[in-house]
Amino acid sequence: MILVSSYFFYGWWDWRFLGLIAISSLVDYIVGQQLYKTENKKKRKGLLLVSLFVNLGFLVYFKYTNFFIESFVEGFKLFGKDLEISTLNIILPVGISFYTFQTLSYTIDIYRNQLKPTKNWLSFFAFVSFFPQLVAGPIERASHLLPQFYKTYTFNYKQIKSGLLLMAFGLFKKMVIADRAAVVVNQVYNNPADYQGIEVVLATILFAFQIYCDFSAYSDIAIGAARTMGFDLMKNFDSPYFSRSITEFWRRWHISLSTWFRDYVYIPLGGSRKGKYRTYANLFIVFLVSGLWHGAALNFIIWGAIHGVIIVLEKATYKLRKKVFAKLNLDKDNFSNQLFFSLITFSIVVFAWIFFRADTFKTASTLIKNSFNNNFTVIFTDRLYDMGLSQGNLIILLIFILLLLVFEVYHNRLKIVSLLNKQSIFFRWSVYVVIFMTIVLFGMYGNEDKSQFIYFQF
């Protein structure tokens, strides 16, 4: 039932691309069986290469062919030669980056003798195409999710209620915050020459919250939907904007992807086992690859490089910073210091988001240049309300962003959901009704461009 539902769900977008999921699943199922049967190192490497070639071959063709063609043409232009090569009309299959990594982890883990292959092809196909997290993650490991398909599930009221509540929270973040912020972000980033100073800064900060609320909302809905059926998916976000360093940020942001790159790219490159300079190189490579994974464009590569450079600097200066803190008798856990380092980290992340959101490198450059223009007086005029949102909607957006931040602070400390479950049934259902009515009354409707989840494009 899950497999049929998942294939129907994906096929509703474009039935032709069901063949990609089916082929990837079939190849990795067979490769997994054969890897387990042989101990011949040469044959095992050959089998792993088959899995890598098929899965990454699909990914490279659909996602990067036009990027390579454009780069090839631009490269010849540097030498004064114009090549008449046009790009191909290729549709990017939704979720291909996610399910490709998910199925690859299965064969790689078997190759490393960290996992035994399943003999149940139906469970494996369902694992690869599991509809709640098929198109935007979390990217699950076979060792965690696959065994859950062997279990028999019974009706569990608490689990279903917990899943529905998490889905409602995701809908709140998506419809009330992300889609409302998208109005301002799209207005400014689609017309970069028309906005200056504080307008660009405000739009970029709002994009930071848009992409967080948009992507974490999808993860919440996916985890919640799976939970209502008895499945447990991994946590994908952990209040990332409270991080005190870029290193910590990546432990809290898109956790399933960052841990995937750690286990299947960083460690195979040598990790931190081959000296500090090799470690720095490995870290930087991982973030370049991460940028390229997000999109076949120079912007995404620069975005990944910014994070890579900062993380390398943090790693290289760790001992020096520790000595300075000790010398100055600074307590990193002091509230004022936590706030300071969180604001610095958030500022770096927001700056990098410019390259992530801008359509081209030229657009990003224009926005960065315009952001330095001093026009702080616009906050005392109606100019801010010419960015797509009315005064009332802008105030609503800022209030809900603040409430979200307050909730995340106290949820981590007080476990608000657990406290809620201890209250009377009248109080609990009052809270549920308030959440539902907030989504209904303050949700944004009627614009397909805003309502699309951002990570569907990856």
Active-site residue numbers? Answer: 294
Tokens describing residue 447: 């614009």
Cα–Cα distance between 162 and 415 in angstroms, integer? 14
Cα gap 249→263, rounded to integer Å:
18
- Rounded to whole angstroms, the Cα distance separating 403 from 343 reads 18
Write the CB contacts of 304 (distance below 8 Å, at least 6 apart in sequence).
287, 288, 289, 290, 291, 292, 294
The pair of structure tokens assigned to 367 is 């926005």
3-state secondary structure of 16: helix
Q: Which two tokens stand for residue 327?
A: 């010398």
Residue whose token pair is 């096929």 = 11
Burial class of residue 70, CB neighbours in 10 A (0-12, 13-18, 19+): middle
Task: For the chain, count helices (H), then strands (E).
Answer: 20, 0
Find the length of the chain. 458
Q: How far apart are CA 399 and CA 402, in angstroms?
A: 5
